[in-house]
A and B are shown apart, each in its own frame.
Chain A
Amino acid sequence: MISDSAVAAPSAPPIVQISKLWSMFRTGGVEAIIHQDLDLSIAQGECISIVGGSGTGKTVLLRQMLGLETPMRGSVTVLGRPAQELTRAGSASRVGMLFQHGALYSAFTVLENIAFPLRELGGLPEDLVRDAVMVKLQMVGLDPLHANKMPADLSGGMIKRVALARALIMDPPLLLLDEPTAGLDPDSADAFCLLLRSLHTGLGLTVVMVTHDLDTIYEISTRVAVVAEKHVIVNAPPKEVVAFDHPFVRDFFLGGRGLRAMELLHPPPDAV
């Protein structure tokens, strides 16, 4: 993402390409189809929000991109390779994931948590790893004093920040977020949004997030993909999505909460 040639390329291939995806779950002998012929393509430098009602399979879609679920039919291609290959060694340098509850290793300190993917590589000297961790720790807005704390001693907002630093330690070009602001108080959520926006533009990341939070959607996303009726019904910049005529879109964006949040709607940050 840093090399000039990649940025300058006129028609870079999409970072994520999902075509004709079918996802199915079997619970208690009952088969439930979650996605049916779902298509989604995410270009480099986008910050895309995936929205949809409960149980429409937003998180499943994210897990498909991470290779944690197997497509029943169709294909999920991430950075030019099948998503299934992502769970193999070295994937930390390709995709970073911020899980909803942080998923920090509770037996490790903050420093060890962030350093984990680097140490797993072996071969890098300890002081370089430590310095790199301290840089990332401050990039996500945490004080170096927190480095030796245990995850159990951190607040919800700090856990998310540490998890974000861990996701970014290998500078992956693609960052996935599952409900990044869920469970944070409004101030922390706003601060976290600002952080995400600065990282998105500063590092040239491609960001994919699942969220319910309208403020987050309007604040940082360049595109919104709405999942309903088992596929993506619309994938466009926020303003166009709001104008799209569909019962879910009307309820979600133009309900009371939606109208209040829309006051935030401003020209999306320049991503590409």
Chain B
Amino acid sequence: MEETLPRIVVEAAAEGRRAVLRGCWTASELAVAASWAAVQTGMKTALQAGTTCAWDLRPVERMDHVGAQLLWNSWGRQWPHTLHASPAQRAMLERVAQFTVTPPRPQRLTAGDRYLRLGAWVMRMESHIADALRLIGQLLLDSVQLLRSPSTGPWRDFSGHLYRIGATALPITALVGFLIGVVLAYLMSRQLRQFGADAFIVNILGVSLVRELGPVLAAILIAGRSGSAITAQIGVMRVTEELDAMKVMGIPRGYRLVMPRAMALAVAMPLLAVWTTLAALLGGMVAADLAMGLTPAYFVTALSKAVKVSNLWLAMGKSIVFGVMIALIGCHYGLRIKPNTQSLGEGTTASVVTSITMVILVDAMFAVVFKDVGL
């Protein structure tokens, strides 16, 4: 091991001082902290010996371009007075000498640049909005076309997406819903018992789960699960030029990519919302039975009295809106992806964050608009 360590020894020779290099002057050896420090101190002594000092590279076991670069930089980018080196070493040093340049600086931001950046940001936002509007408009036109000739619709794509987005999401939404139901019921049972209002747990759980939590939970889960998948799928199609191939074949991407996904989510989302709500109510029912001794039979009869059916219709209605929104946001970001992997990652993240934010925003709007319905 000792042999490969790069090092410099300054020796006294007949013609004056002589710096002798030994060991492996390669990147991987030089990168070791100890040998780097040793080389630096040796280099300092050698350079202090002045221009009369001769350099002897012949005992060097191996040298690569990084080692040669280090020597060249240490010599102040000029040849030393006396140099003993093998032809290969000399050739390498000559290559390094020929090609050493200062790399161009990455450009600094001036005030003018910042101003232009702001302008570019505004333009980007504008193009975002224009693209989103175009996407919605195209979806409407495509829906009209589908209604005119339903037989030519992309039904195969639709059923595929319905399965992937809806059916395969059943286990995870049920699990999350059930656990949220259990947690809520336990927390509320402690509080309600203080007031002797045990029976009201059915009302509270029923209204909050059916009207708000079920649809929102399902929508957030699907936004994370399928919204990101939609963006990534379409983004990868951009990266691999599949989108261009579709265009060349004259296949409208709005009709074949966006609409089937929007339709599948519009169908799957309300069903998943009901499914999640049922799982959450089941969890609440179990927890209420265990914590407060409310029998499931009582829970079910009280539930039908406490929660009006209009709440369920409201929940399903807004779930359709959530579904279409998640699909459109996913497609929107997917279609904007540029053909490189970084853009793919950024687009997917932006898609998920935007769709979750929009779900909560739209849910709040629904709560305000429909405050007189079902309560």
Contact = CB atoms under 8 A, between A and B. Distances in A.
A135 B88 contact: no
Contact of A124 (B60, B65, B66, B338): B66
Interface string B93-106: 00110111111101
A2 B70 contact: no
Interface in A149-203: 150-152, 169-171, 202
Contacts of B95: 135, 139, 202
A202 B91 contact: yes
Contacts of A1: 62
B27 A152 contact: no
B33 A4 contact: no
A2 B27 contact: no
Interface stretch (B46-54, B208-216, B339-347): B339-347
A147 B104 CA distance: 7
Interface in B233-259: none
Given A121-B27, A122-B31, A134-B103, A3 B61 contact: yes
A106 interface: yes
B88 A123 contact: no
Interface stretch (A14-22, A34-42, A46-54, A125-133): A125-133
Contacts of B96: 135
Contact of A118 (B27, B86, B106): B27
Contact of B27 (A93, A106, A134, A204): A93
A4 B88 contact: yes
User: Which of the listed residues B30, B66, B101, B342 has the most CB atoms from chain A within 10 Å of its own CB?
Assistant: B66
Contacts, number: 104
A90 B338 CA distance: 33
A9 interface: no
B76 to A, nearest CB: 13
Contacts of A3: 60-62
Contact of A128 (B32, B62, B64, B69): B69
A91 to B, nearest CB: 10
B86 A134 contact: no
A138 B69 CA distance: 14
Contact of A171 (B31, B64, B104): B64
A145 B103 CA distance: 8
Nearest to A202: B91
A148 interface: yes
B302 interface: no
Given A93-B26, A93-B27, A144 B103 contact: yes
Contacts of A145: 104
A138 B104 contact: no
Contacts of B88: 2, 4, 7, 204
Contacts of B159: none
B62 to A, nearest CB: 5
Contacts of B28: 90, 93, 121, 170
B63 interface: yes
A12 interface: no
Contacts of A90: 28
B65 A135 contact: yes
A2 B68 CA distance: 12
A111 interface: yes
Nearest to B58: A4
A136 interface: yes
Given A3-B62, A93-B26, A128-B73, A139 B99 contact: yes
A107 B31 contact: no
B92 interface: yes
Contacts of B349: none
A135 B32 contact: no
B89 interface: yes
A240 B307 CA distance: 89
A128 B103 CA distance: 11
27 contacts: A1-B62, A4-B88, A93-B64, A106-B341, A107-B340, A118-B66, A123-B36, A124-B30, A124-B31, A124-B66, A127-B73, A128-B69, A131-B69, A132-B66, A134-B99, A134-B101, A134-B102, A135-B69, A135-B96, A138-B99, A138-B101, A144-B103, A148-B103, A148-B106, A170-B26, A170-B66, A171-B27
Q: Which 3 A-B pairs have the closest CB atoms?
A: A171-B64, A121-B31, A123-B31
Given A90-B28, A121-B31, A138-B98, 10 more contacts: A2-B62, A106-B340, A124-B30, A132-B27, A135-B96, A139-B99, A147-B103, A152-B339, A169-B27, A171-B27
